[in-house]
Structure 1
Amino acid sequence: MRVLVVDTALGLCSAGVFEVEAGAGGVARPLGLRSEAMTRGHQERLAGMARDAVAEAGGFAGIDRIGVTVGPGSFTGLRVGLAFAQGLGAALGVPVVGVSTLDALAASVDGEGPTAALIDARRGQVYARFWRLGVPEGPAEALSIEAARARVLALGSDVRLVGSGAGLVTEHAAATGLDGPAPEALARLTAAADPAMSPPRPLYLRAPDATPPSRLPGQPRPQTP
């Protein structure tokens, strides 16, 4: 299967075309790839990076599916990636599937054993998901650092940690801080996903910091007694 992947959820801007062998663990062979570390500016860079990656891969012909990270991650970054992927999918007439950022981070590390994918969520929290024997132990969650540390300890001494929140939870030697998921991992998950079960919708694990206004423009302020 030939897939185009897009990731703007965290500290990377990635666009790439991969040929993925059949099966969930299939090898993803890059045909064209652009990936840069950035925390801002995804909107200005993404289209050009995708254009160059697709041109390197020989064009849009043969692309079977588009995969895009849906979060958790930056609110603005997620919107950029999702809008781009859905617009391109509509233009090409191919399905677009959403891939969890945490799942893609976990798939970015080699080896076997318990895994914890952790993203720094600020305000003393991490976004987290945990796996044992390749099976997730529940859905993605927003946890306090203390709660995440306890979950990591419960997985045992051979646990692998990945993501920007790994260093907040432990100084474990196997912790891997990544700016974002490996595009190859995203490609494998995109090929393995069921489009009916993986819609390209943003995954938010915490309410937004912004609050709606208490009054409409021009409306007088409420009088306090």
Structure 2
Amino acid sequence: MKVLVVDTALGLCTAGVFEVEGDETRALGLRSETMAKGHSERLAGFARDAMAQAGLAFGAIDRIGVTVGPGSFTGLRVGLAFAQGLGAALGRPVVGLSSLDALAASAPSGPAAALIDARRGQVYARFWRDGVPRGPAEALSLEAAAERIAAMEAGAVLIGSGAGLFAGAFPVLTQRPLAGAAPEALALLTAAADPASAPPRPLYLRAPDATPPSRLPGQARPARPS
């Protein structure tokens, strides 16, 4: 299966073309750069360059995978819009990939915690053992996450942008503060996903920071009860 993977949810802008057979992947074309913003200006060019490197037309792609979060609100929507538009134009299925699951798939086998720095004293987290999740993805306080990490087995890996937040507390654990998931992991998840149960929709674990106004401009404030 030939897949195109797109990742703009975290600190990378990635577009890659892979051949996937079972548990094996072969990179055919790849563009990936560390990027905090500006994904919308670069993503289409990255995808074009990756396809050119692979020597393929877009019509050769069997499936598209795109990260859906948790992550940057703007970044993940850029990736989703691009992947869905391309999928519609090509008539190819588009599957949504959890950023946390993709990070965990980027870690060596064994116990792992995928951690994304969510700011405001929180991390987005999911805990794994031998490739099996130990619970759902969650938004946790740093204190709650530290308690969960402390209970992990020896040799556990902390992976993702939130790993460095616990460096001093757990020096015996391996820390890999990746800016984003490994493209090869994204390719494997894309090929394995069921399009019916992995829709390309944003995954939010926390309410947005901004909230809609409670009244329209010029509208009088509601009277307070006497």
Give TM class, smaller chain. over 0.9
User: Quick one: which of 163, 168, 193 aligns to 1:166?
Assistant: 163
CA RMSD, 1 decimal: 1.2
Deviation at 1:219, TM superposition (A): 1.4
Structure 2: 5+ residue stretches without partners: none
| Deviation for aligned residue 1:76 | 0.3
Counterpart mapping for 1:49-128 below 5 A: 49-57=46-54, 58-110=56-108, 112-128=109-125
CA shift digits 1:96-141 (9 cap, x unpaired):
000000010111122x211100000001000000011321011100
Q: Is the CA contact 1:146–1:169 (under 8 Å) kept in the aligned structure 2?
A: no
Aligned AA for 1:130?
A: F
TM-score scaled to structure 2, two decimals? 0.94
Moved over 2 A (4+): 169-173, 220-225
CA contact (8 A) 1:149 1:170 kept: no
Flag structure 1 segments of 5+ consecutive residues without an equivalent: none
Question: May I ask how many residue pairs the two structures share in their alignment?
Answer: 221
Given that residues 3 and 65 in structure 2 are in contact (C-alpha distance below 8 angstroms), is that contact kept between their aligned partners in structure 1? yes
Q: Is residue 117 of structure 2 the alignment partner of residue 147 of structure 1?
A: no
Q: What is residue 13 of structure 1 aligned with on the other side?
A: 13
SS in 2 for 1:215: coil
- Of all paired residues, the percent bearing the same amino acid is 74
Of the structure 1 ranges 53-62 and 155-164, higher mean CA displacement relative to structure 2 is found in 53-62
2: CA distance, partners of 1:178 / 1:135: 21
Q: CA deviation at 1:53?
A: 0.8
* Cα distance in 1, alignment partners of residues 97 and 223 from structure 2: 48
Task: Report if aligned partners of 1:148, 1:169 keep a CA contact under 8 Å in 2.
Answer: no
Residue aligning to 1:190: 190
